[in-house]
Amino acid sequence: MRIREFCEQNLKGRYQLDVIDIYQQRSLARSEQIVATPTLVKYSPLPRKVWVGDLANTERILSGLGLPAA
């Protein structure tokens, strides 16, 4: 599942998704300490949480966001 689809299905109207290209925005990737792709970073609500690698496990992402499994 793509991250936009995931957000629309599970967080409709409650998310902001910014996609960065680490090759075109190297300084942003560096300042955010993104060293691998894909990387998903949740900023709000705190604490900041980072997922690296396969984002296909929706149960893992939902759990990390503190949301009930679908």
Show the domains of the chain with their CATH numbers.
Answer: 3-65 (3.40.30.10)
Q: How confident is the model at residue 70 (pLDDT cuts 50, 70, 90)?
A: low
Please spell the DSSP secondary structure of 35-69, one letter per residue. Answer: -SSSEEEE-SSSSPEEEES----HHHHHHHHT---
Average pLDDT, the chain: 86
pLDDT confidence tier of residue 61, bands split at 50, 70 and 90: confident
pLDDT digits (tens, 9 = 90+) for 45-54: 888 888 888 8
Is the Cα torsion angle 16, 28, 54, 42 positive or negative in sign?
negative
Asked whether 58 and 70 are in contact (CB, 8 A), the reply is: yes
> What does residue 67 show for φ and ψ, rounded to 5 degrees?
-110, 150
Mean pLDDT of 8-36: 89
